């Protein structure tokens, strides 16, 4: 059956096990950790199953979901950007963890139905508890993982003022209004970030800094050289995936971006950082923040925690400590 789903993919899978799991996204074959983590557990527990990354376009997503739902050998899936929100419309049922966030990162096949879960929220909350009490938090992004960050930050730091910026202002306004939390403030435009003072924590829940080539009608671009705090400008697109060429064409934007980020931390010297990105482990945001000796976490721990929870749900294995131990096994 897996051969049928290959026609919808930008990469091809060759299933060598009786059962299989997937990680669904635009480009998870380029750096996603879940297949490595999940497959360690499958191997050590001698479960005849394997996880495969599948790169799929938004256009092919509906037909693809329809095919895996019919396949008796498909057990479940992780879901990564940019489909955590859009995939909800193709799922039969959603767990309580999804209803408030409206975002799915885990799918379970059960009784010929696809059931959506969200493990980002609990994993994000666990990382945030590692920081001391915060008074003024800036959260960048309100997509699938961004909404998890907003909800968990509001719960961990109950008295903190939380300022949020998202490219889609109306979408963020709708989400935040449903939370009915007076401590949450919406930044209407990007320039408001540079004027902020007294910020003691930044959470990056955008894809800015993630090493991933993306494509539009004009060509390719990669956000891994930028910080989400710096100057927001339209990038110069390149025809081919070439780091050197892309950097040269965007050198002035890069300089302004780095300078603006440095200035932000210079005005907010006691500002800690949680960058949810895990690839690369040290993003431009983290590199600049480190110059001010701030407390910094990347997304590696959160990614591991949500992988443990996702594996537990999909494979119905309750011993999360064992799962985590096997995932960390070298």
Q: What is the CATH number of the domain that holds 315?
A: 3.40.50.10860
Tell me: do 200 and 82 sit in the same domain: no
Check residues 6 and 80 and name the one with the higher pLDDT: 80
Tell me: do 164 and 188 sit in the same domain: yes
Tell me: do 209 and 290 sit in the same domain: yes
* Residue labelled with tokens 């959160």: 302
- 125 domain residue, yes or no: no
pLDDT band per the 50, 70, 90 thresholds, residue 17: confident
pLDDT band per the 50, 70, 90 thresholds, residue 144: confident
- 126 domain residue, yes or no: no
Strand 93-94 with 113-117, pairing: parallel
Tell me: do 184 and 282 sit in the same domain: yes
Tell me: do 33 and 65 sit in the same domain: yes
The pLDDT of residue 197 is 95
How many domains is the chain partitioned into structurally? 2
Tell me: do 157 and 232 sit in the same domain: yes
**Per-residue pLDDT averaged across 142-165, rounded?**
93
- Where b means 16+ CB within 10 Å and e means fewer, 126-147 reads bbbeebeebebbbbbbbbbbbb
The pLDDT of residue 311 is 97
| Average pLDDT, rounded, for the chain | 91
Q: Give strand pairing partners of 202.
A: 138, 273
* Predicted structure pTM score: 0.88
- 127 domain residue, yes or no: no
The pLDDT of residue 107 is 97
Q: 75 is in which domain, residue-wise?
A: 2-118+302-327
Q: What is the CATH number of the domain that holds 182?
A: 3.40.50.720
Tell me: do 210 and 279 sit in the same domain: yes
- pLDDT at residue 6 is higher than 80: no
- 307 domain residue, yes or no: yes
Residues 64, 12 contacting (CB under 8 angstroms): no
User: Which residue in the list 18, 30, 50, 84 is annotated as catalytic?
Assistant: 84
Tell me: do 289 and 147 sit in the same domain: yes
- 123 domain residue, yes or no: no
Tell me: do 260 and 148 sit in the same domain: yes
pLDDT band per the 50, 70, 90 thresholds, residue 11: low
pLDDT band per the 50, 70, 90 thresholds, residue 176: confident
- 191 domain residue, yes or no: yes
Residue 241 annotated to the active site: no
pLDDT band per the 50, 70, 90 thresholds, residue 29: confident
Tell me: do 162 and 217 sit in the same domain: yes
The pLDDT of residue 217 is 87
The pLDDT of residue 177 is 79
Between helices 34-44 and 300-315, what is the axis angle to 10°?
Answer: 50
Cα separation of 231 and 20, whole Å?
43
- 182 domain residue, yes or no: yes
HEC string of the chain equals: CHHHHHHHECCCCCCCCCEEEEEEECCCCCCCCHHHHHHHHHHHCCCCEEEEEEEECCCCHHHHHHHHHHCCCEEEEEECCCCCCHHHHHCCEECHHHHCCCCCCEEEEECCEEEEECCHHHHHHHHHCCCCCCCEEEEECCCHHHHHHHHHHHHHCCCCEEEEECCCHHHHHHHHHHHCCCCEEECCCHHHHHHCCCCCEEEECCCCCCCCEEECCCCEEECCCCCCCCCCCCCCCECCCCHHHHHHHCHHHHHHHHHHHHHHHHHCCCCEEEECCCCCCCCHHHHHHHCCCCCEECCHHHHHHHHHHHHHHHHCCCCHHHHHHHHCCC
Share of the chain above pLDDT 90, in %: 69
- 124 domain residue, yes or no: no
Tell me: do 45 and 107 sit in the same domain: yes
Tell me: do 35 and 77 sit in the same domain: yes
């Amino acid at each position: 059956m897996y051969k049928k789903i290959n026609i919808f993919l930008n990469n091809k899978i060759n299933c060598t096990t009786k059962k299989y799991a997937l990680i669904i996204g635009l480009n998870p074959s380029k750096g996603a950790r879940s297949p490595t983590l999940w497959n360690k557990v499958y191997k050590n527990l001698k479960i005849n199953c394997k996880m495969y990354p599948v790169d799929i376009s938004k256009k092919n997503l509906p037909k693809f979901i329809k095919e895996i739902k019919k396949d008796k050998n498909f057990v479940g899936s992780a879901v990564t950007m940019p489909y955590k929100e859009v995939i909800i419309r193709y799922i039969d049922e959603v767990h309580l963890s999804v209803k408030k966030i409206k975002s799915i990162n885990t799918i379970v096949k059960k009784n010929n139905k696809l059931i959506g879960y969200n493990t980002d929220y609990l994993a994000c909350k666990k990382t945030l508890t590692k920081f001391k009490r915060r008074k003024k938090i800036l959260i960048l992004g309100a997509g699938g993982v961004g909404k998890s960050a907003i909800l968990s930050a509001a719960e961990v730091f109950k008295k903190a003022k939380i300022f949020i910026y998202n490219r889609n202002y109306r979408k963020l306004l709708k989400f935040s209004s449903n939370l009915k939390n007076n401590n949450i403030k919406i930044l209407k435009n990007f320039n408001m970030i540079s004027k902020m003072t007294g910020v003691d924590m930044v959470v990056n829940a955008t894809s800015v800094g993630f090493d991933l080539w993306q494509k539009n009608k004009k060509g390719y671009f990669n956000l891994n050289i930028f910080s989400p705090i710096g100057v927001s400008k339209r990038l110069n697109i390149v025809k081919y995936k070439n780091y050197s060429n892309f950097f040269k064409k965007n050198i002035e934007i890069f300089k302004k971006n780095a300078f603006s980020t440095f200035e932000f931390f210079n005005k907010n010297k006691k500002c800690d950082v949680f960058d949810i990105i895990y690839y690369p482990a040290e993003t431009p945001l983290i590199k600049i923040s480190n110059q001010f000796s701030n407390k910094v976490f990347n997304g590696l721990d959160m990614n591991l925690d949500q992988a443990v929870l996702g594996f537990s749900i999909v494979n119905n294995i309750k011993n999360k400590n064992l799962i985590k131990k096997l995932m960390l096994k070298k």
